[in-house]
Amino acid sequence: MSAEAIQTRRDWLLSERPASRVQARLGRAYVAWRRFSANRLAFVGLLIIIALLVVAAFADVLAPYSPTFGDLKGSRLLAPSAAHWFGTDDLGRDIYSRIIFGSRWTLYVVILVAIIAAPIGLLVGTVAGYAGGWTDAILMRITDIFLAFPKLILALAFVAALGPGIENAVLAIAITSWPPYARIARAETLTVRNSDYIKAVQLMGASPFRIVLRHIMPLCISSLIIRVTLDMAGIILTAAGLGFLGLGAQPPLPEWGAMIASGRRFVLDQWWVAGAPGFAILIVSLGFNLLGDGLRDALDPRSGDQ
Amino acid sequence: MTAALSVDRLEVVFDRFRALKGVSLEVESGESFGLVGESGSGKSTLLRAIAGLAPAASGTIAVNGKQLGARRDKAFYREVQMVFQDPYGSLHPRQTVDRLLQEPLAIHGFADGEKRIQRALDEVGLGTGFRFRYSHQLSGGQRQRVAIARALILEPSILLLDEPTSALDASVQAEVLNLLEEIRRRRKLTFLMVSHDLAIITHMCERLMVMQNGEAVEHLTAGDLVERRVTKDYTRNLLRASEGFVRTA
Amino acid sequence: MSTLLEVDDLRVTFPTRTGLIEAVRGVSFSLGRERLGIVGESGSGKSQTGRAIMGVTPPQAEVTAKTLAFDGIDLLAASPRERRALRGKRIAMILQDPKYSLDPVMSIGRQIVETLRTHEKVSKAEARDRALAMLEAVQIRDPARVFDLHPHEVSGGMGQRAMIAMMLIAGPEMMIADEPTSALDVTVQLDVLGILDRLVSERGMGLIFISHDLRLVSSFCDRVIVMYAGKVVEQLKASELGRAQHPYTRGLLNCMPKIGADRHPLPVLDRKPEWAA
């Protein structure tokens, strides 16, 4: 595409007089994208997350060996080499392949938790904030009860009750991670509920349900997205923690936390067995954190819309 | 003939603070009525109480002869609409003008939204070029025009105006005041307008009420003010202050 | 009349994502011991002019001028330290809302005392006496009580008086007042202006009064500068405002509703692109 065509397209996006709904929306997204991509570190974070997605999608192609079947006779606990980049574990499985397949489980956990926890938090927080009074008191005390326990302990209790397994681990993490979102959404709601633009919608005769859903929630979503992204690292670590304690993913699933747990026995002599998945967790957590920071700058509604 | 708006001994109490201490007024249909006072006089509270945004502790409010209950129904909002003081705070920051104007139509189930939005934008002198802008892409005067369009789109008969021009530059203020007058003439609206500026109220309204500390000080006509026929010292002070600084040395 | 401030070709430029924005484009004027009003609408550059003189322009902006001299001192060549010493001591500034310019966690009296003691070596007792005297000078009825109050405990008018007291305590020779009364009720506004007027004339200070309100400025100041789009479009004596030449000044005067003048619709300003050229 010629430079001129790019220029006109940019003008179209940045137009002060959008001619259609679509153009207005795209223009807004483009401004946020420009703000985001100006931040190098955030860009690195985004690349890491994209890489994670690609690896998870093409795990079958990328992994040189099976993640679950190893060569018990000839390749137990081999050190990293050209044949096995990250070495092999005590059952002779290629760690590199296991980490590639493990990315799927990591994504599975992270996405499911976000899909379950964020909407619950958003709903509880905005309803509590907008309704006030008794509703607010009851909802926020429930939130406080969840917040009073350390996350991992509470998740442990839930998994212990539900039974070990990755689905139950996801459920337990989701149940324990919505309260902070509810708090954020409530705080955000309190700042906007008395603003004139909400008053104006009330004067249109809008129902409280409509006001919360269509006017308050959209304002809370960006701070929630930022917070969820920043929490992704914590979710991965909690999932890994549960896996490590044997309450999350069950063998032979190549989940990173469970891999560290099984590698712990040889950590002094065969460090790569625990080290490689640990490093993978570190990188992905870092990616989500950088991405979250960048999103905070790009999406923050208060950081000037010009 | 019943008054478009009648307020009788209205009291508003916030946490034991009596913001309105039994205020009564009647506004005829098609009339423009002004409320003047300084901050804390209760003039904005009166407006908000009528709109249902401030709780009435006692007293009654009636619109077109129909007394209002504690909860306003949808029909009320089709009769009475409001324009707020701060054009920067009264438009949703994440919505385009189009979306802002669509909302009241969606709530009240109008089918001909497209036509109404076009007409409302034309009426406030914005045209369709502004339709898909976000509020941060508009100047203060343009925002206030959007707010007026939003108030008009449900075709109310009474418009409550809470210092609609005090956040605007003088030249923009003149444009918005002219627009309001023109709309009132064309649609035969009833205005209840709040301002701290006597000159604006005398320009816009036929009758007015001066307020202080949640009470009515006096009822006047615009003509009374022009000819300085005021009886209370407080009003006289306001009148003097509106003429600018006078050196006393 | 001696010249206190000399401004020649003052420019303030802000870098933005889309290029440079010139907020002030070549403003020139001089100030003696008089009341000078700067009037303009939002975006006219009037506040940025005041800030540039005071030296409180945001750091990313660039300030240039052929001359920007206060009492012979070149303000643009002065070191940040010298400028800090000038601020408060010899040049003072009052801002629109006292809520934002007074420290919320310090009592009003202590703020005045601190201001005085940064600029002059005086004992605590003397500083307190002078602060009380100053509070009395701005017509606060019970200075001893107000001395111990915090900014949120006083009304807007009282806060602005305290602000004026704080600004005048070190005896500045020039004061920049940026919309000092816009946040106040009209009657309080006149009281505050009366106090400001008396203090300025008693102490022989130079005052730059920045406002959007042409009527108020013309009744209060000796001379008026009208700004539009970063430029001075007209300079004239306040008493001769009725004979203003520039269509912008005349338009501004005309478009305000007046009691007794029955003009429907109000004349509106027809902005000409050549005014900004």
Listed by start position, the domains of chain B span 5-241
pLDDT of the residue at B1: 56
CATH topology of domain B5-241: Rossmann fold (3.40.50)
pLDDT of the residue at C38: 94
Q: Which of these ranges, A25-29, B18-22, B112-116, has the smallest mean pLDDT?
A: A25-29
- Residues 6 or more apart whose CB falls under 8 angstroms from that of B64 comprise B2, B4, B29, B79, B157
CA A203 to chain centre: 38
Which member of B171, B204, B249 has the closest CB to residue C251? B171
Neighbours of chain B (3+ CB pairs under 8 A): A, C
pLDDT of the residue at C159: 86
Give the DSSP per-residue string, C117-185. Answer: HHHS---HHHHHHHHHHHHHHTT-S-HHHHHT--GGGS-HHHHHHHHHHHHHTT--SEEEEESTTTTS-
- Closest chain C C-alpha to B226 CA, distance in angstroms: 5
For residue A101, pLDDT beyond 60 = yes
Q: Are strands B215-221 and B207-212 parallel, antiparallel or unpaired?
A: antiparallel
A194 touches chain B (CB under 8 A): no
Query: Which parts of chain C register pLDDT below 70?
Result: 1
Minimum CA–CA partner of C250 in chain B: B171
More confident position, A76 or B139: B139
Nearest to C131 by CA among C102, C174, C123: C123
Q: Under an 8 A CB cutoff, do A203 and B92 touch? A: no
For residue A212, pLDDT beyond 70 = yes
For residue A299, pLDDT beyond 50 = yes
Alpha carbons B241 and B228: distance in angstroms, whole number: 13
Amino acid at A24: A
With an 8 Å Cβ cutoff, the interface of chain B facing chain C consists of: 38-39, 140, 169-175, 177-178, 181-182, 196-200, 202-204, 225-226, 237-239, 241-249
For residue B92, pLDDT beyond 60 = yes
Residues on chain B touching C267 (C-beta within 8 angstroms)? 174
| Residue A12 pLDDT level (bands cut at 50, 70, 90) | confident
- The DSSP code for C62 is E
pLDDT of the residue at B191: 96
Please list the alpha-helical segments (H only) found in chain C: 46-54, 80-89, 98-101, 108-119, 124-137, 143-147, 156-168, 186-203, 214-220, 247-254, 273-276
CA distances to A47, A202, C47, C255 from C268, rounded to whole Å, are 55, 34, 24, 6
Alpha carbons A193 and A130: distance in angstroms, whole number: 6
Amino acid at B20: L
What are the structural domains, with CATH classification, of chain A? 40-299 (1.10.3720.10)
Minimum CA–CA partner of B135 in chain A: A305
Residues on chain B touching C251 (C-beta within 8 angstroms)? 171
For residue A57, pLDDT beyond 80 = yes
- Looking at residues A121-135, what average pLDDT do you find? 94
Question: In the numeric block, which tokens belong to residue B46?
Answer: 């009166």
ipTM score over 0.85, yes or no = yes
- Looking at residues A297-303, what average pLDDT do you find? 64
pLDDT, tens digit (0-9, with 9 covering 90-100), for C136-162: 888 888 888 989 998 888 888 888 888
For residue A1, pLDDT beyond 70 = no
Residues on chain C touching B204 (C-beta within 8 angstroms)? 257
